[in-house]
């Protein structure tokens, strides 16, 4: 079986039609759907040649496109089956760039469960593989109690910076999709918020291991759940040379701004300007020009910007 037609970056919308007697899939080009001008995304498609009744039940539930550390060949895609019957994956057509390939002839997704499509499933020579990293490193998948979900090889080459995966009907209609435009942390997967169509939203895995292949996705954390701001004290004495230590932690994709204001709302000093991650900053009671501020009450204003924006105002006191 083979594909006829252009699939470079899949800049054309596919149509027409599955011909089982002829033994091949033929596509005709429609007006560009995936062409985004000068910045074309690397797109990988999974085309389902299954009965229409099954399309809405097989969804992309997780994608790992940025391998752990310096590892390579560890990319994978998780498919979830929400039906009460096994879904045969042998009718999937997997297209990556100029490559067109079928999945393993024994590929399937169990009822109400998961299956993994891995770039490099296993290796007997100890080289990087899905089984070596997420299994018991025996070189065989399925011989350990943690390897309790099916996994199959699938040719892929996912971009760390931007890309997309689509589930398509044979007429080209999009059934499900996952699109990303920013890099995830090393070894951190992109997880679907729910397993019911439509695709809904996605979040970076919050699991301590960075991903959840073959099991329920990790919960999505809100920004307020994971941002922290801790003060060592709220009273500093200039005569004693004391300082206020501020520890902060903000989620990936967010930034924090900290400033000190007087009781009239005038900014005295900017402590942090749009920094990300974790850190500590100290304030010794001086203004931006290095002068000691007068004793009194001041306000520490923190603003965290990202998928949500939140602000917090904390009074601090300068004593003589």
pLDDT for position 14: 37
pLDDT for position 170: 56
- Helices first, then strands: H and E counts in the chain: 3, 26
Distance CA 290, CA 81 (A): 63
Same domain, 189 and 42: yes
- Report, as an integer, the average pLDDT of 247-254: 81
Q: Which of 88-92, 106-110, 126-130, 171-175 comes out lowest in average pLDDT?
A: 171-175
Do 176 and 199 form a contact (C-beta atoms < 8 A)? yes
Same domain, 141 and 272: no
Which among 220, 254, 288 is the end of a domain? 220
Q: How far is CA 130 from the centre of its chain?
A: 18
- 215-225 pLDDT, tens per residue? 999 887 655 54
Same domain, 205 and 237: no
Q: Report the run of H or E that residue 203 belongs to, with start and end.
A: strand 202-204
Q: Look at residue 53 and tell me whether its pLDDT is greater than 50.
A: no
What are residue 226's phi and psi, to 5 degrees? Answer: -120, 0
Q: Report the run of H or E that residue 237 belongs to, with start and end.
A: strand 235-237
275: CB partners within 8 A, 6+ apart: 248, 255, 256
Same domain, 188 and 280: no
Reduced to 3 states, what is the DSSP secondary structure of residue 9?
helix
Same domain, 101 and 17: yes
Higher pLDDT: 235 or 305? It is 235
Q: Which domain holds residue 180?
A: 3-220
Same domain, 188 and 238: no
Which among 199, 220, 241 is the end of a domain? 220
pLDDT for position 51: 45
pLDDT for position 304: 81
- 266-301 pLDDT, tens per residue? 899 999 998 888 899 999 999 999 999 999 999 999
Q: Look at residue 90 and tell me whether its pLDDT is greater than 80.
A: no
Q: Which of 187, 149, 178 lies closest to 65, judged by CA?
A: 187
Same domain, 178 and 292: no
pTM of the model: 0.58
- Report, as an integer, the average pLDDT of 138-162: 89
- Report, as an integer, the average pLDDT of 5-32: 37
Q: What is the CATH number of the domain that holds 311?
A: 2.60.40.4070
Number of domains, the chain: 2
Residue 59: Cβ-neighbour burial (10 angstroms; 0-12, 13-18, 19+):
buried
Do 275 and 264 form a contact (C-beta atoms < 8 A)? no
């Amino acid at each position: 079986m083979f594909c006829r037609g252009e699939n470079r970056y899949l800049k054309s919308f596919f149509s027409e039609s599955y011909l089982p007697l002829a033994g091949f899939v033929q596509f005709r080009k429609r007006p560009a759907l995936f062409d985004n001008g000068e910045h074309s995304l690397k797109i990988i498609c999974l085309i389902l040649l299954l009965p229409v009744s099954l399309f809405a039940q097989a969804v992309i539930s997780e994608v790992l496109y940025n391998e752990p550390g310096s590892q390579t060949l560890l990319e994978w895609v998780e498919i979830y089956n929400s039906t009460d019957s096994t879904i045969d994956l042998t009718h999937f057509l997997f297209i990556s760039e100029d490559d067109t390939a079928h999945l393993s002839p024994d590929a399937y997704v169990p009822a109400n469960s998961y299956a993994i499509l891995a770039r490099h499933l296993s290796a007997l020579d100890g080289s990087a593989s899905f089984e070596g990293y997420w299994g018991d490193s025996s070189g065989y998948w399925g011989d350990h109690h943690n390897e309790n979900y099916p996994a199959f090889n699938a040719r892929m080459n996912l971009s760390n910076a931007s890309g997309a995966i689509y589930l398509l009907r044979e007429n080209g209609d999009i059934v499900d999709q996952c699109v990303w435009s920013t890099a995830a942390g090393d070894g951190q997967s992109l997880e679907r918020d729910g397993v019911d169509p439509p695709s809904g939203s996605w979040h970076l895995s919050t699991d301590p291991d960075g991903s959840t292949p073959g099991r329920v996705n990790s919960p999505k954390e809100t920004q307020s759940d994971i941002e922290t701001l801790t003060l060592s004290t709220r009273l500093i004495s200039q005569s004693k040379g004391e300082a206020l230590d501020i520890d902060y932690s903000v989620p990936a994709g967010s930034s924090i701004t900290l400033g000190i204001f007087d009781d009239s709302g005038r900014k005295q000093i900017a402590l942090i300007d749009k920094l990300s991650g974790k850190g500590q900053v100290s304030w010794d009671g001086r203004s931006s020009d290095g002068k000691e501020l007068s004793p009194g009450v001041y306000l520490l204003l923190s603003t965290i910007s990202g998928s949500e924006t939140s602000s917090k105002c904390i009074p601090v006191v300068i004593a003589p």
